[in-house]
Amino acid sequence: MKKNSRPLLIYLFIYLGFLYAPVVLLPLFAFNDSAIIAFPLSGFTTDWFSWLMEDESLFRALKNSVLIAVTASFISTIFGVLTARAMARHRFLGKQSMFGLIMAPLFLPEIIVGVSILIVLMQLGLALSLWTVIAGHVLLATPFSVSILTTAFNNLDRSLEEASLDLGENRIGTFFRVILPLVTPGLISSLLIGFTISLDEFVIAFFLTGTDPTLPVYIWSLLRFPSKLPVVMALGFILLVASLVLLSIFEFYRRRSESLASGKENSGIK
Amino acid sequence: MKFGTQIKQSLDGWRLIGTPFIFGLLLLLTPILLLVLLSFWTQEYLDLNRTFTFANYREIFSHPVFITLIKRSVNISLFVTASTVLLAFPVAYYISFYGGKRKALLLFLITIPFWTSYLLRIFLWKIILGYNGVINSGLISLNFIQEPLTFILYNSNAVVLALAHAWAPFAIFPIYVSLEKIDRSLLEAGRDLGDTAVRSFFRITLPLAMPGIIAASLIVFIPTIGDYVTPKLVGGTEGMMVANMIQVQFSKANNAPLAAALAIVSLSIVVLISLVFLFFNRKYLRRQI
């Protein structure tokens, strides 16, 4: 069987080449000593990074984005806990349709979500602000939080909960002292996935943002100016590195979540 | 069971799911219903005319501009879906069947390019395909061409390429998961009973991987049909899609009702195609549900 895998392996390398083709340009042009994005490369510089550091509107946009991402991921994780818990432990009328509505943003093009929220806000005469973007991002991130936390809650050993109740702890105490610690890795991955979704989301932020742009909306405005492109490349490179750090943390907790929930606490990372 | 006791039993669940559910009602269901309502109104300069009319829908279906855009969006999105899933399948297959101990590493390698801004990933294709881009400057320095090629950027093909790239991992992962679920002893049994490798692939592996392929197709199809960024950055006028028109009608043209009708038409098409797709593949999904 091993020998027929060779063509597939070659294909895999070609495919990876395709996947990496755009991204390898980021470091190349981020450190390239020319204001024009074209080959051949002219020389090495870190100027574009110093430009970035002096760009105050960039930092404002970054601050907005982080604020939005933290708030949105926090709320979507709470929603995720509530939904996952209800789905895992309770029977109630309308269970499937309520769940369906909460998961629906996964199955809708973002532009539809953005436009429809914008229409409501316009009809109500509400001003666009960071909060309107947060609301949109909570909507988008909640289904992801729900799926992550549903796995965490379903893997939870029910007897631990029953033991706690039998030993005299009340429901609230059991939730905070038994259930919550066991699903913590799930909570952290839910927070991180919500954070990354919100941080990178453009279309909804584009529609719902007021005078304060988010980072993607700010990048969008930069893309129109050819002279700004090397700075954008430098920014993209920083974003890539920062995301990889976040991703590694996420992986670490996801694996711990899996091993914790299945009771093999000591197996750690494989 | 009595309705009263049912309500009583439901209270615990409702108390939990209530907040996210009401949030969804207020920020998703109500807005979409309003969008539907708005699509039956008309814009008269600065005011909304709130008499019920099909005028917007008539306008969409009588103007070739809108029909062309909608058709193109559907075509691009279907083409992106087919090519992304087809190209992704061998990758998922290799990782699942021959990945061995390097499975996690290979999956990680696939995700790395996608951890920078979506906008920049799409924009980088413009740098690759552009007039002074990587391909043109490369080909010129190799003396293959004298003048830069202009047909590679600002058309539907560029949109398809950028989208097929952007959605690649979203196709690989579901297919990989479904391949991982296949009981390998089934394949051995097939081989022992005389199936050739090709036959056992088509009779065992592929049918069992269908849930993943179906999921991958929907995950790629639904968002790409409404993509705004990609056609705007690399599509030019020839590659413009329906989301761009929705945005234009909404802002510059100041015709929110027409934008709403366009959004509703696109949404209906997405739902319709997804349902037809699921219907034709229902036999593969039956066991899952």
Q: Is residue B40 part of a domain?
A: no
Q: A residues 146-205 near B, CB within 8 Å?
A: 200, 202-203
Q: Is residue B35 part of a domain?
A: no
Two structure tokens written together for B67: 């029909």
Dihedral sign (CA A20, A22, A25, A27): negative
CATH number for the domain including A269?
1.10.3720.10
Q: B residues 41-80 near A, CB within 8 Å?
A: none
Q: Is residue A216 part of a domain?
A: yes
Q: Is residue B21 part of a domain?
A: no
Q: Is residue B81 part of a domain?
A: yes
Higher pLDDT, B154 or A262: B154
Q: Is residue A183 part of a domain?
A: yes
- Residues B256 and B234: their CA atoms lie apart, in Å, by 26
In Å, how far is A146's CA from the nearest CA of chain B? 10
Confidence of residue A270 (pLDDT cuts 50, 70, 90): very low
Two structure tokens written together for B70: 């909608």
> Does the beta-carbon distance from A92 to B233 stay under 8 Å?
no
Q: Is residue B220 part of a domain?
A: yes
Whether the CB-CB separation of A46 and A112 falls below 8 Å is answered with no
Interface A-B, measured as beta-carbon pairs within 8 A, has a size of: 229
Amino acid code (one letter) for A252:
F
Q: Is residue B119 part of a domain?
A: yes
Checking if the pLDDT of A102 tops 90, the result is: yes
> Does the beta-carbon distance from B35 to A16 stay under 8 Å?
no
Whether the CB-CB separation of A235 and A219 falls below 8 Å is answered with yes
DSSP notation for chain B: --HHHHHHHHHHHHHHHHHHHHHHIIIIIHHHHHHHHHHTSEEETTEEE-S---HHHHHHHH-HHHHHHHHHHHHHHHHHHHHHHHHHHHHHHHHHHH-GGGHHHHHHHHHGGGSS-HHHHHHHHHHHHSTTSHHHHHHHHTTS-SS---TTSSSHHHHHHHHHHHTHHHHHHHHHHHHHTS-HHHHHHHHHTT--HHHHIIIIIHHHHHHHHHHHHHHHHHHHHT--HHIIIIITTTT--HHHHHHHHHTTS--HHHHHHHHHHHHHHHHHHHHHHHHHTHHHHTTT-
Q: Is residue B38 part of a domain?
A: no
Number of domains in chain A: 1
Instruction: For residue range A68-83, list pLDDT tens digits in order.
Output: 999 999 999 999 999 9
Q: Is residue B128 part of a domain?
A: yes
Instruction: For residue range B87-104, list pLDDT tens digits in order.
Output: 999 999 999 999 888 888
Q: Is residue A65 part of a domain?
A: no
Q: What is the mean pLDDT of residues A1-11?
A: 76
Q: Is residue A17 part of a domain?
A: no
Q: A residues 58-97 near B, CB within 8 Å?
A: 79, 82-83, 85-87, 90-95
User: CB contact, 8 Å: B285 with chain A?
Assistant: no
> Does the beta-carbon distance from B134 to A92 stay under 8 Å?
no
User: CB contact, 8 Å: B145 with chain A?
Assistant: no
Q: Is residue A60 part of a domain?
A: no
CATH number for the domain including B265?
1.10.3720.10
Domain that holds residue B70: 61-285
Evaluate the omega torsion of the peptide bond into residue A40 and state whether it is cis, within 30 degrees of 0. Answer: yes
**A37: helix, strand or coil:** coil
Domain that holds residue A219: 72-88+102-270
**Predicted model pTM:** 0.86
Higher pLDDT, B283 or B29: B29
Number of domains in chain B: 1
Checking if the pLDDT of B271 tops 50, the result is: yes
> Does the beta-carbon distance from B266 to A219 stay under 8 Å?
no
Instruction: For residue range A228-261, list pLDDT tens digits in order.
Output: 888 888 988 888 888 788 777 777 776 776 666 5
- pLDDT for B188: 85
Q: Is residue A66 part of a domain?
A: no
